[in-house]
Amino acid sequence: MPLWIIYALLSAVTAALVAIFGKIGLHNIDANAATAIRSVIMALFLIGVVLVQGKFTELGEILTQKKALSFIILSGIAGALSWLFYFLALKYGKVSQVGPIDKLSVVIAVILAFIFLGERISWINAAGVVLIAVGALLVAVK
């Protein structure tokens, strides 16, 4: 099995845990404050990962590359907004409905990759993307 598939599956499992742990943790607290705390924990954890890997000096190298840094900043802002909206949705909705709608990000990412990155997908891949969209909406409907 290719390494990327293993990482993608691990990403899916841990993302599912974010929803479960987040929903439990959001009981009677502000979703935005909770997201801020989560972000600090994530930053500390990831700095620890970089330190353990011995790649701390690469942080400085990234800071010198203006184009890369600009897009990393934009990605960080988009990620922060995604978390804010996701935690707000979890606070007021069911995980079983919020989760599938959130996964429409897969469909949107494929469309944006086609438009902005010129990535091509086959008809079978396009059919899969349509099925993801339809499936997410069907699961989210009460």
pLDDT at 125: 94
Pinpoint the alpha helices (H) of the chain.
3-25, 31-52, 57-64, 66-92, 95-102, 104-117, 123-140
pLDDT at 141: 82
The terminus-to-terminus CA distance of the chain in angstroms comes to 37
pLDDT at 89: 93
pLDDT at 92: 92
pLDDT at 139: 87
Which residues in the chain come in under a pLDDT of 70? none
pLDDT digits (tens, 9 = 90+) for 40-73: 999 999 999 999 999 988 888 889 999 999 999 9
pLDDT at 140: 83
